[in-house]
Structure 1
């Protein structure tokens, strides 16, 4: 389908899918196994069939006023940033770890002032890899409103993923964040990524802790309930050099979490599949591991 000229604002009428927090089953642990064959059946694993509520929204295209949307004001921000990796290189996990991790760590330190950043995993969505399996939901865009870590869940991640466990204990007592680096591998038209205005999301009524069983580790994210007052934003035709940084958690920042979701743009529903790369990072302020000793993939 034809795309909107980039000089025009491309707001989208669409639907977002939320959790029904009035149904007690929302609190059953969600299962995210790492084994590939188990992931193929992930939608049918215990706790993974959740009661949903769908609401219509207009998603605002922020292409023409990006400077208004910052990590401190809205919990997300888009930065111009070139990677040395080509589109094909993003299919190579070793190149992603060896080149893209350090690039992203440098970017995060520069824009946040962090003293230490540890990338604990990455996830490609869409047909990035030759063997990408469309039967595995985790390799597809997620059309469900969520936040990856709750406030408690962020501490669980830091304690489990940071290689120096003594340092990890210090981290959770200080200022740290869980931030994602979200980059298009090619220009995004289908299944774009949206963030909700954090000030329109109410902790007490819109969010509820949701346990996540990741193999042997019990993590915790936010289940997000429906609220017609939520306000949604995205960048239309997001380019590979337009990197979205967003906070799943910040222990001290003016914005503590960013609710997000992919969504369907009816104008681009028949376009080529989305291709994107996401890094998940522990961002630490004012502290470094003793001697700055790092276990890969950190810096």
Structure 2
């Protein structure tokens, strides 16, 4: 099935619950986000792991962010207005049965991953999927809303991956170099499936409407060079045009799918996203969420 044919598969999965079980129909949030300071015309210099630590420029990327106040709008009850192909993200209604521990590798491999890959195929029309990363987040950030650890919410505005990283990421999970090269000749997307483990109150995930982003001016590559390859994500600079959204009281059966890359240059969505602080819930227990990042490959049309 081609990507365009998959649109009709989404309708039955769209969450249309008008309330979030928190007793309110709309909860827009005035908060702050951590954006990249504009790095200038040369951009961010890459970090090369092959040179001594003392010589790495911006080795820790210190003092490269700035705080901006934004309003993140609640889309509860109007999820159908936001679509995968237009805004770059989609909230769905989809439950995974039988999981008792989202950190258990056996349950991730045998239950969560197959269900998530099946969902991605249904939504995108992909014929093959390859998971390259999964992550549980269940710890608070030690320094409030500053940078995250692997298990805490990421409070820096970013995108997950750029095109130059694809070969490196695939080689980490596919040992056959020829198979990697063959897959990269096909049309593909990179998809993030982000799901609450428990209802989200503290540190929800905000997403930026792709239509409000100027990728050529707003997104800057943050590149790491290693002996195994190149890993690069995107760090956006602030724009007054950016429009931010979230789903209040997001539940475990309301996963968020968002696009991080498309090999088709005519549909180059790489969705900007970030955790944010909702002051009403800043002192609540740490957020528990699970994300799975997936390559979705398509048959030749």
TM over 0.5: yes
> Is the alpha carbon distance of 1:134 and 1:194 closer, same or farther for their aligned partners in structure 2, counting shifts above 3 Å?
same
Q: Distance in 2 between matches of 1:30 and 1:66?
A: 42
> Is the alpha carbon distance of 1:9 and 1:216 closer, same or farther for their aligned partners in structure 2, counting shifts above 3 Å?
same
Query: 1:195-210 maps to which residues of 2 (within 5 A)?
Result: 195-210=207-222
Which residue number corresponds to residue 231 of structure 2?
A: 219
Mind listing any 5+ residue stretches in structure 2 that lack a counterpart?
A: 1-19, 50-57
The answer as to 2:167 corresponding to 1:149 is no
The answer as to 2:256 corresponding to 1:244 is yes
> Is the alpha carbon distance of 1:62 and 1:214 closer, same or farther for their aligned partners in structure 2, counting shifts above 3 Å?
farther
CA-CA distance at 1:221 after TM superposition: 1.1
Q: Which of residues 161, 178, 188 in structure 2 aligns to 1:166?
A: 178
Answer whether contact 2:88 2:259 (CA < 8 A) is retained.
yes
> Is the alpha carbon distance of 1:198 and 1:93 closer, same or farther for their aligned partners in structure 2, counting shifts above 3 Å?
same
> Is the alpha carbon distance of 1:149 and 1:175 closer, same or farther for their aligned partners in structure 2, counting shifts above 3 Å?
same
Mind listing any 5+ residue stretches in structure 1 that lack a counterpart?
A: 32-44, 288-299
Q: Which of residues 5, 21, 25 in structure 2 aligns to 1:8?
A: 25
Q: Distance in 1 between matches of 2:21 and 2:48?
A: 38
> Is the alpha carbon distance of 1:248 and 1:14 closer, same or farther for their aligned partners in structure 2, counting shifts above 3 Å?
same
The answer as to 2:64 corresponding to 1:77 is no
Answer whether contact 1:17 1:143 (CA < 8 A) is retained.
yes
Q: Distance in 2 between matches of 1:92 and 1:209?
A: 33
Answer whether contact 2:188 2:297 (CA < 8 A) is retained.
yes
Q: Distance in 1 between matches of 2:163 and 2:123?
A: 23
Q: Distance in 2 between matches of 1:255 and 1:195?
A: 16
What is the number of equivalent residue pairs in this alignment? Answer: 267
Which residue number corresponds to residue 45 of structure 2?
A: 27
Answer whether contact 2:132 2:172 (CA < 8 A) is retained.
no
> Is the alpha carbon distance of 1:121 and 1:85 closer, same or farther for their aligned partners in structure 2, counting shifts above 3 Å?
farther
Q: Which of residues 262, 282, 285 in structure 2 aligns to 1:272?
A: 285
Q: Distance in 2 between matches of 1:151 and 1:199?
A: 20
Could you tell which deviates more after superposition, 172-181 or 269-278?
Answer: 172-181
Which residue number corresponds to residue 294 of structure 1?
A: none
Describe the superposition over 1:139-175 as per-residue Cα deviations: whole angstroms up to 9, x where unpaired: 1100000001123223443455434432322332331
Could you tell which deviates more after superposition, 146-155 or 238-247?
Answer: 146-155
Answer whether contact 1:27 1:209 (CA < 8 A) is retained.
no
RMSD: 2.6
> Is the alpha carbon distance of 1:123 and 1:236 closer, same or farther for their aligned partners in structure 2, counting shifts above 3 Å?
same
TM-score scaled by length of structure 1: 0.81
TM-score scaled by length of structure 2: 0.80
Describe the superposition over 1:66-109 as per-residue Cα deviations: whole angstroms up to 9, x where unpaired: 111111011111111111243x4102122111211001011111
Which residue number corresponds to residue 257 of structure 1?
A: 270
Could you tell which deviates more after superposition, 233-242 or 135-144?
Answer: 135-144
